[in-house]
Every structure is written in C-alpha cells, then in structure tokens.
Structure 1
C-alpha cells in the first residue's frame, strides 16, 4: 500500500465518522513508513453490498420532501448574487420563453443558437405556454415535483477536476386544462473537488458519503444528510453544497465560457413531440459594479454527445471533418459491454436539441459511402467483426433520443441489445425506474464507486486515464 493512499484512506474515514481508532493521531511521513499494511487497511475497510436505493438513486418520499422545486431555484438565484427583482417566477418564465421565437435575446431564434444550421424546431408553442405559469405558487395548476435524486460520482473526471454530478429530477404535475402532456426538468449539479491538490483522490470523502448511506436504516436521517449534501452544506468536510449557481455551468459575463454542470429538459408538453434540450447558466450585468443591473439566464446550449444527423448524410459543410472525428470514436463504440460503449464528438458537431420521435436520429438509416467506408476500414484495423451499421446503431444509443426512446431493443452486435426505458424516460412521475437503469446502468455506477473506494484502501489504484474521460469511462459532459 502506498503511503499517500494510506494517509488519504485514514483522512477520508475520519472525516466521515467511519471509525478511526484515534482521530487525534497525526502521523509524520517517518511514522507512516513503519506502519504495517494490515493495520492501515483496517482503518479504511473495503466496501461491498452497496444498497442502490440508498446510495445510487433515492426516491423515498421522506427524502424528496426536502427538495421542493422552489427551494432549488431559490438557492440557485441567491447564490448567483442577483437583485431582488430577479424572482423565482421571473427567472423561470424567462427560461421557458426560450422555447418561443421573439426579438428577445436567448429565445430559440437567437442567432447564437444553432449557428451551424443543423436544425431546431422554433418556436415550440406547447412548451412556450409554460412561460405563463407560476409553478411556485401553492395554488398553481402546474407544478414540478421531485421524483428522484441520482448519484453520478462515476462522472468525476479522472484528473479530479470535480467530483461528479448530483442530479435532481422534477416531473410536471398539471391540472391546467390548457397545459397537458409530460415534462421533466433535471438539475445536474457539478460538485467541486474539496481537495483539488490531491487530484481525483480528493473526491474519496464524497464517494464514502454516498456509500455510507447504505448503512443508515433511518430514512429521516438519510434525508437530513442529503439535504446537507445538496442544499445547506456540511455533509462532506470542505465540500460546497451541490445546489449553487456556479455548479450549473455558470458563465460570468456575455462572452465567458461555461463551466461544468447543466440543466436538461425532457419535454412532451401537450403530447406534441418528445425532445430534450440542455441549458447552462449565464449571469450578465449592464454595469458590473451595480448589482441592480444583473440578470441570470438559463442559456440554451448544445446537447452533448448528440451529433447532427446531417453530418452522417454527407450533405453538410462540416461532414468531411466529422467523418474524421467519428472514425476516431469507433474503438470505444465497438466495446464488448453495454457500459463500455462511448463516443465523444467535438462540440461543434452537436445539435441544440435531440428529438426522441424522429426517424432520422437513427444514424444507420443513412447511406453515405464516405463515412461507411471509413468506419469499415477502422473496424478492420482494430480487428472487430462488427459491421458499420452496428457501429451507427451504437452511436445512436449514446444520444438522448437513442438512450431514451429509439434504441431500446436494438441489436448492437457482439451479443448486445440496448435495454428498455419506460417510454421516453428512465424515471417517471411516480419514481418508477427503467429496466435500463435497474439492470445495467445503476449496477455499473455502484461498481465504479465501490472500486474507487476500495482501490484507495488497498493501494491498487490503476494508472490514470486520459484527462477527457471520467472514472466511469464516459466522455466529459456526457449525459449518460
């Protein structure tokens, strides 16, 4: 066991009350060299048997009651340092107006949206009706209610740039006769590394916090811990609460780049058309020194890992450069297991919405000799028996539309079939989980977290992967 890992394991266990023999012991490096590995391992025991319903996804009503939609939006607004005029209602309604077309900046016909001309439905009038409601009022006929919390520790980059994403899913509950259908909003907050100087090892206490929920049989105790982790702080020493404006891709100023974290929508308002969009926060001030001139916007950005179908047809000006980029994805798309299938297209190739009901999102449907021949050549080079069609079907699984609707049941070659959803969603209004989650994704995320903890107890940490990969093997910013 390495000295560095031994110390880190002890620190992490003490910080979370995991039973250190002497929490006042502060060994020097010299002392540590004389400690045998067996005694060190006892302070950071291997973990196993993680309860998925406590440590990976949480749907207990007692827990969800702490996560009212108004509380999360209020927390984002307050941590963005905004004037009192920027109310929850103003922020929400301006966000929903982005589904409409108007001269206002940020609406769907803004020139900054879809600059490559891949195509976006604008306006979406059913969704735009949400800009007329106040979902925070007690008597509102349109509300968003929490249905699940998701631990995405597996999305922590291998370089420790942050410690993963921690998601809150809200489902629309409408009794308004003019607004029907289904709608989900997912807050996907990035958690900064509480000890960035330690790299990814600094995230150990975060993993131990979530795994430790397994041993807590008291749902009210777990609710209090998760409330601290997400909202009030103090759950993990040195770690900020998840719900802060800075953790949802906040950019300061009109031209600054967005950070990590995002909010996604999965909307089917009035049962018109299922589609998914992605948003990140931007704060702008007319006068930097005058708080009263500041506003916060949910800025419409590309949906990550959703390359435009026009690029596969060969008819778009960027098609040639995309072919080169896509061929580089073939080795990971040809993975032997479902959880290993990945792709990471450059952001310039991503669309601004993913439509779950369109047939043209199935990449295998396009007969473009240039990309098919390039993929076939790459498959031969890596010794794969998969076909180009199977690679294209695997690529579709990585998109929002594929993962949520068009790929379930699709044969992918190599004995693999994409698992089932609940029909456009992986968690529904009643907190039911999809077979894809329960049988494939959640067990894998549990495995990643347990291995991360155990590696840091027994010193068998593998060599670091590329910086653009997460500890779960996904590209940075991938949705799934």
Structure 2
C-alpha cells in the first residue's frame, strides 16, 4: 500500500499541535528516559511483558532481518515522500555529510548548511568541521551510500509522552561497513523517527495498534516473516492510517520539531592522527518557495547535553551563570532514586552543538572534570548542597552532576561508565561494546542469510531492554477504558429531608484512554440525577484522579439515600459503579452535622 501523502501526514501533526498547544510553551524532556518512565506502567505487574522477546520486539539486530533494509531504500523513500525536492536519494545522503565540510561544499548540493557557518559555531557553541566524514559528500559513486549497512532496529515506545501526543520513537541504526584493517573508517548514523498518534484525542490508547504490532513480533518464529513484518512497520505503517515510520515529517519536519537523525562519528585521518569522536544531531527540513522545494538535513544542538564548562563555577559568563541557576531547580528530579526515572530539563539555549565522548585531556565535555575545576567551597557547590539538604537527599553535589552527565550523549556512551551515581542507583553500568550500545561489526563478515546478531552492550540487554519490555507489556495489559473508585466524599454526613446539599466523588482513570469532555467522557447517573461532568480543560491520563462535585436536594423521605453513577465514554460504560450515600433526617430533626 502506498505511503500517505506529505499533506495527510501534515494533518496528523497539525491535529497533534492543536491538542498539545504551542511547542514553545514549555521545554520538553529530551533525554533517553522521558515519556512513559514516570507513569504507572513503569512498575505495574505485567503478564504480557514476561511473554515478550526483547530481541524480537524491542531490539532487532539479526543480520538476516536488518540486511533486507538498505540505506539507499530509506533515502529513496524520504525523497519520494517529500515530492519534488531537487535531490536524488544519493544527493540527500551526501548533503547530510556535506554539513561537515566548510562552505561552499559540493557544487551540486547548493544552499545547505555547513560547519563553517557562523564562525564554526551553532547555538553559540563550537562546531568543528569534520572533512574526514565529509568525504561521503564528495564521493559521487554509489559505493558511498551503499557502504552503510543497517545493524539494528529499535522500538522506543517507552519514549511516548504520557498524554499520547505521539507514539514514541522507532530507530534505524546504520554503520559504515569496513573490514577490520580499516576500522578507523568507522562511522554511524541513526534515524530516530517520532511516530504521530493517529487518534491523539484518545491519548495513549491511540498508540495501541503500533504497540501491538511490535509485541506480536515475539510470536513469529520465522525470521524471514519477522523481517517482512518489521520492514512494513517502517515503510508502510500499521492500522487504518498506514503511517510509516520513514517519512520526512517524522525526523523533525513537523510543527513540534519531533524526531531527529544523530551521527556517531569515528572516522580518523590515519592510525597516528586520530580525530576526536563526536556525536551530533540533525533535523530534516522541507522548504518550498515560488520556484522549488528543498529537503535538507539541518545541524541542531545535541539535546540533554549542556556545554561542559557551564558546570565550572569559574566560568562567569552570563549564559553559564544562568545555566547553573537553572540546574539548581532540577536537583529534585535528578535525585529520584531510580536508575530509569531520574531526569532533568535542559533549555535549548544551554545545549552544546556536539558531544565528545572521549575523555580528552582537558575534559571539555566531561561534566565532572569541569565541575572539579573550581575549588570548593564555591557558590555553585554550596547551592547544590543546600538544595539536596532541603529535599532531604543523602546524595552529594558530585552525584547530581554525574547523573546529569549520564543523560548526555557522551555520558551515556562513555564518560559515565562505572561512575558512582549515588544512593540506590549505584554505579552506571559498564558494558558498551567499543563506545556504542549496539555493535556494528561481525567477523568474519556476514553472508546473505547469516543467522548471527550484531552484539549489544550488557547495559542494553541487562538494564535498558528489561525496563522497556516492562512498559510495553504493562501498556498492552491495561484496558483502554477503566476506572477506579477512590472513595466517596462529602461536606455533609447527614441532612434534613428536602434540604439542598453538596457532595463529592473521586474516581481514577485506570485505562489508557484520555478522559476529556471533548471525547464525550462523563459519569452517567444511574438514578436520574445529574451526571458527573468533566470541566472543559480536563484531560485525565492513566493514573490521574478527578474529584467530581455535585449539588442535589435530599429526598423528602428520611432514611439512607444512595446516589449512583458509572463512567461512560461515547455510550460505552466502564469501570465500577460509583456511589454516594446520604443519611436523610426527618425535616423536624436536628440541624445537619458537619463531618
């Protein structure tokens, strides 16, 4: 089935923007542990999770499967979906790497950004040229794009936001295939597509078709059949919307800027002339003017990666001071005693243009090394210590900085391995194969149908994948519509017959569908009294509660009066019966007693 048009995909993102509000309204979490990590799904017992195979439903690295998807086919689909863009698939691939060359770059790739723009800076931070990787822009032979092979497909449903504004990220990791003697030519890029929710008015429930499709891969024993199914997820999509992962709008070219491509650049000039290992980030941008349209990769900041020297209290530039003041407000989030849940927000003005995971002599991107450059005590150290004491945390300022570093690109890949993150979190796992979480080399080189898997780090297999498996399974175990009756509440325990009274009932959303007045969710009266109506601005997500207030007139007959409701959405009732019991006194009885 053909992929949706650019216009139809734009409509999905436009609907999302209307529901979500302006993307500038607040800074979002961009690290690898946002999304569903802080929802009830993270710790809910799950029968489905135990039946999932993480190497089928979360991280697919079987050579027999990933070898069926080529870099060329991905770039061809992007160019085709974008409409007339002036570039072929090979040119778009080369334009990505031409960003690493100084202007003017390749003659047939005009108008694109370059590393030399703005005096070799991006976001005010250094952005060095990398002409060694830029070779892939000047090489016009098919061998250039075809030298990159897919080494992994990754399901990051766990990164879906709790409100279901999108359905998470789905990633394709490509590596430059080189024989062992030329390993210094190693290079990687990873497409991280954010899939829009086809029915965002339902909240997270709208993502069930794609979550189920990934989970069902665990039940398919034939690797060739699994390969066909997962390829369809990326190139064709699932469900009635048929929205594939691979689409320009899913890599940053959308109203919220969601999705990206990241590079992991290893290439060296020679055995004795190493180039610093760099991690960088890009967005796809599709622009049209009166004469033509262009599709380009645009370098952007590396998210959750503030400039390392901002942690040095000796750096008194206004931006560094502003960052440290902001960082103090994030201590409580970083002090959460759960490896998968501590987090923080980095406003983009503080993010670096690149991340160097290598422990360089000056520690330019090593937060702890920079933090230690200022003698203690100093105002930044003291402020961190005071905030930790205020929230009652036993952690030290060094633990908080180390946790922030572990969320950065370079920290996750290299800097933080084996570092003490403090408290119940302990040390960051050591287990990255050659600076990555999934390997890109098989020796001897694989042949068609090779059953081997590209290896993954023990951090990935023992720590990260089990948690993502838990979230996916718990989501699928949770019914679309369900409610929990918290308790009846009342301002008046007893009231005289015929008297007006007020009461409250509290109910929790225990399903995956968002409750709102807009999607026709309410508490329907079972005895002919007033319904329980959500307020216009209510949007109750999984685990959130609502206290409904109501005003009624007590019956004229003394005794016990029970009022009953049941939650309902679009005519479908769900959850337990809600009730409120009132003691009705004779009209000539005592005045109402307050509880």
In the alignment, which of 110, 134, 144 is matched to residue 128 of structure 1?
Answer: 134
8 A Cα contact 1:114 1:351, kept in partner: no
8 A Cα contact 2:251 2:284, kept in partner: yes
Which residue in the other structure is 1:418 paired with?
Answer: 428
SS in 1 for 2:197: coil
Find out whether 1:354 has 2:365 as its counterpart.
no
- The farther-off stretch of 352-361 and 165-174 is 352-361
Partners of 1:403 and 1:143 in 2: CA distance: 27
Find out whether 1:337 has 2:357 as its counterpart.
no
Partners of 2:216 and 2:205 in 1: CA distance: 17
Quote the offset at 1:455 in angstroms. Answer: 2.2
Which residue in the other structure is 1:77 paired with?
Answer: 79
Find out whether 1:155 has 2:178 as its counterpart.
no
Which residue in the other structure is 1:200 paired with?
Answer: 204
8 A Cα contact 1:327 1:375, kept in partner: yes
Instruction: Call closer, same or farther: CA 1:45–1:426 in 2, change over 3 Å.
Output: closer
Which residue in the other structure is 1:210 paired with?
Answer: 214
Query: How many residues are aligned here?
Result: 409
Q: Which structure's residues are more often helix, by fraction? A: 1
8 A Cα contact 2:123 2:301, kept in partner: no
8 A Cα contact 1:192 1:239, kept in partner: no
8 A Cα contact 1:134 1:142, kept in partner: no
Which runs of structure 2 are paired with 1:296-315 in the superposition (5 Å)? 296-313=295-312, 314-315=315-316
Instruction: Call closer, same or farther: CA 1:417–1:176 in 2, change over 3 Å.
Output: closer
Which runs of structure 2 are paired with 1:91-106 in the superposition (5 Å)? 91-103=92-104, 105-106=112-113
Structure with larger RCO (C-alpha < 8 A, sep 6+): 1
Find out whether 1:64 has 2:66 as its counterpart.
yes
Which runs of structure 2 are paired with 1:287-302 in the superposition (5 Å)? 287=290, 290=291, 293-302=292-301
Q: Which runs of 5+ in 2 are unaligned?
A: 1-45, 105-110, 269-273, 442-453, 483-509, 515-540, 543-595
TM-score, normalised to structure 2, is 0.65
In the alignment, which of 155, 180, 186 is matched to residue 182 of structure 1?
Answer: 186
Quote the offset at 1:398 in angstroms. Answer: 0.5
Find out whether 1:237 has 2:240 as its counterpart.
yes
8 A Cα contact 1:142 1:176, kept in partner: no
Instruction: Call closer, same or farther: CA 1:54–1:196 in 2, change over 3 Å.
Output: same
SS in 2 for 1:412: coil
Partners of 2:265 and 2:309 in 1: CA distance: 23
Partners of 1:393 and 1:177 in 2: CA distance: 36
Partners of 2:334 and 2:462 in 1: CA distance: 20
Quote the offset at 1:362 in angstroms. Answer: 2.3
Partners of 2:146 and 2:247 in 1: CA distance: 25
Which residue in the other structure is 2:115 paired with?
Answer: 108
Quote the offset at 1:360 in angstroms. Answer: 2.6
TM-score, normalised to structure 1, is 0.79
Partners of 2:121 and 2:475 in 1: CA distance: 39
8 A Cα contact 1:150 1:168, kept in partner: yes
Q: Which runs of 5+ in 1 are unaligned?
A: 1-43, 252-256, 465-469, 472-480
Quote the offset at 1:247 in angstroms. Answer: 0.6
8 A Cα contact 1:394 1:412, kept in partner: yes
SS in 1 for 2:472: helix
Quote the offset at 1:164 in angstroms. Answer: 0.4
Deviating runs (4+, > 6 A) in structure 1? 175-179
Find out whether 1:321 has 2:332 as its counterpart.
no
Instruction: Call closer, same or farther: CA 1:454–1:191 in 2, change over 3 Å.
Output: same
